[in-house]
Amino acid sequence: MRVLIVKTSSLGDVIHTLPAVTDAAAAIPEIRFDWVVEEAFAEIPAAHPAVQRVIPIALRRWRKGWGAAFSRGEVHIFLRSLRLDSYDLIIDAQGLMFKSALVAMLAKGSRTGYDRNSARDPWVALTYGQCHSISREQHAIVRVRQLFAQALNYKRPETVPEYGLAQQDQIQTGRSPYLVFLHGTTWPSKHWPELYWAELIVLATQQGLAIHLPWGSDEERLRAERLAADHPAVQILPQMSLTELMQELRGATGVVGLDSGLSHLAAALSVPGVTIYGSTRADLTGVIGSQHQNLVAEFPCAPCLKRVCNYTGESRVQPACYEQLSPIVVWESFQKQIQWTAA
């Protein structure tokens, strides 16, 4: 059975889809998936053993200049790759008209996805041959697992999510213990205060642990440079591909992260750690991993689901909801997670 998945972005959303692929492969051993995904994230589905072919799309880049994308032939190459095969089923796991539904319509095969009350964009339901009702008031991973189970007619397992990535590469041995601090994220309201990161580095290095800081933008690189100043045990990593970063995460003793795709990646790789949540809902999109803990701020206006904190009361840090999630609180929670893992 050949199935096409359309789930283009973001990194966290792509990772949320992996357990559904694992479920389907276990329920239907002969099934094989192709996957349309943003070019920047193509390495993630490619690492799952049930994914046969990854079809990269560059919507984020093309939107900056559709004319150039057409003139270079990139759109034509994508469409030719998309229509290379016919599929028994096309699953739109994104539920957005311009990100996924239109792409699914261009592929060969019958289409399925969320119904109008379940999708983020209700109009996408008009493009499917079959729609499925999936409650939006549950975690994103559960939603996708339900969607695949209904679309492919098997009973959804009640097991913990299996991402299919943990055993892919050989973990490097002989390296000194190190932690990875995932300090980058998107919304300003998701950022843990930089002062707190600096204090957490002191707590970790006092225990003899090295700290590795990845970065993906100039802003993140500058923050990493500030945090690494005067700390010889802190290493700023070179800019890495996702495959290289997966290898780096696999070798880590643990990670501390924010609400970002990389935190989801760490959990998918079974790396122990904690993830810090303030403005966003961990119950709907939080990190899920057997060796991972989410630390959720308890604050009158949290989670606000706003990109920028607009709290006007007194607080010694911004965003204000992180005041109670101090470095010592995070460090103590992290140590418990590491001890539990070692046990």
Contact predicate 35/15, CB 8 Å: no
User: Domain 178-342 belongs to what topology?
Assistant: Rossmann fold (3.40.50)
pLDDT confidence bin for 338, thresholds 50/70/90: confident
Percentage of the chain beyond pLDDT 70 is 96
- Name every residue whose Cβ is closer than 8 Å to that of residue 126 and which is 6 or more positions away in sequence: none
SS3 211: strand
Contact predicate 280/305, CB 8 Å: yes
Percentage of the chain beyond pLDDT 90 is 93
Contact predicate 260/254, CB 8 Å: no
Q: What are the tokens at 82?
A: 């998309």
> Average pLDDT of 135-155?
97
pLDDT confidence bin for 166, thresholds 50/70/90: low
* pLDDT, tens digit, 9 for 90 and up, residues 175-203: 689 999 999 999 999 999 999 999 999 99
pTM for the whole structure: 0.94
pLDDT confidence bin for 123, thresholds 50/70/90: very high
Q: Is 252 left (phi over 0), alpha (psi -120 to 50) or beta?
A: beta
- Name every residue whose Cβ is closer than 8 Å to that of residue 90 and which is 6 or more positions away in sequence: 3, 4, 6, 104, 107, 109, 110, 111, 112
Inform me whether the pLDDT recorded for 173 exceeds 70.
Answer: no
What is residue 111's DSSP assignment?
E
pLDDT at 172: 52
Q: Which CATH architecture has domain 2-152?
A: 3-Layer(aba) Sandwich (3.40)
Mean residue pLDDT across the chain: 94
Q: Which amino acid, residue 233?
A: A
pLDDT at 174: 54
* pLDDT, tens digit, 9 for 90 and up, residues 205-236: 999 999 999 999 999 999 999 999 989 999 99
> Average pLDDT of 166-180?
67
* pLDDT, tens digit, 9 for 90 and up, residues 236-276: 999 999 999 999 999 999 999 999 999 999 999 999 999 99
Kindly report, as residue ranges, where domains of CATH 3.40.50.2000 are found in the chain. 2-152, 178-342
For residue 148, give the H/E element and its range: helix 140-152
Structure-derived torsion over alpha carbons of residues 228, 318, 267, 136, reported in degrees to the nearest 10: -160
DSSP 271-323: --EEEEESSS-HHHH----TTEEEEE---TT-S---SS----S--SSSSGGGT
β-pair type (254-258, 273-277): parallel
Contact predicate 39/68, CB 8 Å: no
- Taking the alpha carbons at both ends of the chain, their separation in whole angstroms is 42
Higher-pLDDT residue of 182 and 336 is 182
Whole-angstrom Cα distance, residue 313 to residue 230?
A: 34
* pLDDT, tens digit, 9 for 90 and up, residues 54-77: 999 999 999 999 999 999 999 999
Inform me whether the pLDDT recorded for 283 exceeds 60.
Answer: yes
In whole angstroms, how large is the CA radius of gyration of the chain?
Answer: 21
Whole-angstrom Cα distance, residue 329 to residue 192?
A: 13
Contact predicate 8/39, CB 8 Å: no
Inform me whether the pLDDT recorded for 341 exceeds 80.
Answer: no
Cα dist from 12 to 85, 181, 258, 267, 332, whole Å? 28, 17, 12, 11, 26
Q: Report the candidate in 192, 171, 179 with the shortest Cα–Cα distance to residue 233.
A: 179
Whole-angstrom Cα distance, residue 295 to residue 168?
A: 28
Inform me whether the pLDDT recorded for 170 exceeds 80.
Answer: no
- Sign of the four-CA dihedral 65, 68, 74, 78: positive
